[in-house]
């Protein structure tokens, strides 16, 4: 993937299969240097052709002796490129350059005290004599390769860092990329800016200018269409493309009627009135309500909404004359995860969907080199409203997966209203955005209550609020009782048909964030 690589000094992160490669790539970009993840098996010839400004070797299996452990092309280490190895990377370097890795099987996991033993260290410049670092390894280097000096140790790891500045090779057994390593980002910056001499030029303005230039070159005078959902990714694609090609862009907004309060209006106002984008707003609520009537199986609901969504979209898209391109908001993690096999598929929330029979567009994916936090930063820079840029994750099928059982207009009305209160109250309290996601859920039950002098038999609302870093795991948010009390009062007083409010105190696992 060429992408920004042609215009930017690029750091390659050699991926040895650990979950750390993405994190390293992000840390490098936080230091304002463009990075790309490449397979560990990349050949020296390929590296020579693509000329990275530096290389970082990621972590990987516990030991280079592990069964089936991946090994890099050793010639990459001696091409004169500045290289930094982390964890498994230090072992690879030692293995290929004549160091010794005794098979002790003694590992070190978690926090360790790092002691800098060589004040002359180039890599550890500015790191205090003792600091905290994060370890996760089994075997470790016993004797460094000839030419290397040992620069740090921990209680159990004799070679916690080593370097050979004459060959521009550096390595640490600990993980500088994880937040638990106190001076981790400092070490990464020293490596990039001082050792490899890469200037910190990867900025949001720079991303915008280069993306705009590339899109113009790619599409020329052709017309492009773009599916707009109001989520941050598709919104950014629309705003960027509009900046690049103006009137050649048409956006199709399929409003399935399952959006939150005022959300559809916000999409229309932002893109039609503020950005003056040619926007087709398809109000498909009736159509969806018809299809969903009486359907209570969660998977079936999702399937109906997903399939119908693309059907409606392509119905509109194919009516437009002379449109050659379809733009979509694929992000870098999608590209890495799918091994770059996204071509000619539509990213549909969690799935990839093929084009329908007889329909073809060339795909343009202007965000495919970016991480989510970069997308948000570019969005703000382009003037997208904060409500869109900071929008919480929201399922493609929308409120339909937060109404347990079948969906109808009345339930949608109740949930929309209660959800607006939850978002309003928690939003005002959580100004520094510590809560990952919060919303209301409408279960398929009724319970007895008393309001005024009357017995009621009405619906409950469940409030869900979770803290999380990435939605893979989550914990229920410890909201103050006062805040819960305010939400409960407001929902029961303001939302007709609700007589009870519950708070979901389930973490993930075993629960999921959504209820369906």
- For the CB of residue 394, give the shortest distance to ligand XMP in the complex, in Å: 6
- For the CB of residue 388, give the shortest distance to ligand XMP in the complex, in Å: 15
- The reply on whether position 329 binds ligand XMP by CB under 6 A is no
Nearer to ligand XMP, 195 or 226 (CB): 226
- The reply on whether position 513 binds ligand XMP by CB under 6 A is yes
- The reply on whether position 230 binds ligand XMP by CB under 6 A is no
Q: Which window, 76-84, 388-396, 404-412, 424-432, contacts ligand XMP (CB under 6 A)?
A: 388-396
Say if CB 81 and CB 128 are below 8 A apart. Answer: no
- The reply on whether position 229 binds ligand XMP by CB under 6 A is no
DSSP character at residue 369: T
CA distance 75 to 71: 12
- The reply on whether position 398 binds ligand XMP by CB under 6 A is no
Residues forming beta bridges with residue 494, ordered by sequence position: none
Q: State how far the alpha carbon of 194 is from the alpha carbons of 80, 144, 277, in Å.
A: 17, 23, 44
Q: Mind giving me the DSSP string for 277-343? A: -EEEEEE-HHHHHHHHTT---HHHHHHHHHHHHHHHHHHHHHHSTTEEEEE----HHHHHHTTT--T
Rounded to 5 degrees, φ, ψ at 5 are -60, -35
When binding is defined by CB under 6 A, the residue of 4, 397, 461, 492 that contacts ligand XMP is 397
- For the CB of residue 232, give the shortest distance to ligand XMP in the complex, in Å: 11
Nearer to ligand XMP, 395 or 460 (CB): 395
Q: Which window, 73-81, 281-289, 417-425, 506-514, contacts ligand XMP (CB under 6 A)?
A: 506-514
Positions annotated as catalytic residues are 87, 175, 177
CA distance 42 to 412: 52
Cβ partners under 8 Å of residue 498, min gap 6: 414, 418, 458, 459, 460, 461, 491, 492
Q: What's the gap between Cα 281 and its chain centre?
A: 28
Beta-strand ranges (E) seen in 187-310 are 223-227, 249-255, 278-283
Site track 439-478 with ligand XMP (rule: CB under 6 A), x = hit: --------------------------------x-------
Size of the site for ligand XMP (CB under 6 A): 12
Q: Which window, 28-36, 393-401, 424-432, 456-464, contacts ligand XMP (CB under 6 A)?
A: 393-401
Q: Which window, 40-48, 213-221, 420-428, 505-513, contacts ligand XMP (CB under 6 A)?
A: 505-513
Q: Which window, 79-87, 114-122, 206-214, 392-400, contacts ligand XMP (CB under 6 A)?
A: 392-400
- The reply on whether position 140 binds ligand XMP by CB under 6 A is no
Give me 424's structure tokens: 């309003």
- The reply on whether position 437 binds ligand XMP by CB under 6 A is yes
CA distance 301 to 152: 57
- The reply on whether position 78 binds ligand XMP by CB under 6 A is no
Residues forming beta bridges with residue 475, ordered by sequence position: 467
Binding site for ligand XMP (CB under 6 A): 349-350, 393, 395-397, 437, 471, 508, 512-514
């Amino acid at each position: 993937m060429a992408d920004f690589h042609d215009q930017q000094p690029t750091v390659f992160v050699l991926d040895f299969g650990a979950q750390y490669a993405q994190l390293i790539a992000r840390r490098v970009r936080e230091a304002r240097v463009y990075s790309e993840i490449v397979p560990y098996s990349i050949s020296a010839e390929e590296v020579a052709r693509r000329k990275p400004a530096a290389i970082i070797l990621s972590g990987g299996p516990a030991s280079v002796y592990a069964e089936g452990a991946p090994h890099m092309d050793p010639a990459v280490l001696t091409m004169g490129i500045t290289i930094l190895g982390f964890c498994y990377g230090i072992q690879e370097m030692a293995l290929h350059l004549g160091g010794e890795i005794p098979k002790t099987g003694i590992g070190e996991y978690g926090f360790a005290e790092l002691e800098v033993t060589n004040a002359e260290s180039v890599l550890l410049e500015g790191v205090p004599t003792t600091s905290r670092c994060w370890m996760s390894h089994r075997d470790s280097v016993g004797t460094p390769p000839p030419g290397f000096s040992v620069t740090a140790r921990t209680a159990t790891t004799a070679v916690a860092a080593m370097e050979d500045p004459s060959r521009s090779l550096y390595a640490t057994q600990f993980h500088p990329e994880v937040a638990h390593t106190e001076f981790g980002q400092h070490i990464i910056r020293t490596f990039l800016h001082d050792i490899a001499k890469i200037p910190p030029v990867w900025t949001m303005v720079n991303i915008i200018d280069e993306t705009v230039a590339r899109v113009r070159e790619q599409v020329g005078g052709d017309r492009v269409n773009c599916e707009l959902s109001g989520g941050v990714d598709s919104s950014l694609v629309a705003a960027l493309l509009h900046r690049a090609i103006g009137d050649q862009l048409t956006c199709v907004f399929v409003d399935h009627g399952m959006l939150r309060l005022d959300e559809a209006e916000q999409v229309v106002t932002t893109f039609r009135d503020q950005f003056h984008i040619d926007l087709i707003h398809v109000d498909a609520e009736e159509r969806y309500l018809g299809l969903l009537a009486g359907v209570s199986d969660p998977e079936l609901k999702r399937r109906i909404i997903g399939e119908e969504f693309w059907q409606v979209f392509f119905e509109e898209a194919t009516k437009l004359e002379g449109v050659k391109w379809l733009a979509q908001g694929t992000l870098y993690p999608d590209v890495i995860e799918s091994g770059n096999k996204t071509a000619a598929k539509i990213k549909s929330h969690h799935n990839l969907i093929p084009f329908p029979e007889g329909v073809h567009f060339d795909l343009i994916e202007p965000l495919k080199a970016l991480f989510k936090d970069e997308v948000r930063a570019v969005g703000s820079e382009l003037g997208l409203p904060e409500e869109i840029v900071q929008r919480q994750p929201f399922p493609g099928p929308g409120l339909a997966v937060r109404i347990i059982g079948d969906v109808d207009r009345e339930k949608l009305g109740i949930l929309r209203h209660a959800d607006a209160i939850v978002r309003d109250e928690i939003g005002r309290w959580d100004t520094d955005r510590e809560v990952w996601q919060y919303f209301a859920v409408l279960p398929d039950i009724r319970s007895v209550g008393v309001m005024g002098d009357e017995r009621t038999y009405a619906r409950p609302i469940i409030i869900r609020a979770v803290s999380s870093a990435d939605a893979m795991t989550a914990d229920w948010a410890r909201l103050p009782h006062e805040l819960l009390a305010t939400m409960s009062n407001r929902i029961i007083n303001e939302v007709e048909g609700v007589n009870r409010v519950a708070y979901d105190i389930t973490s993930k696992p075993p629960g999921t964030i959504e209820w369906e």
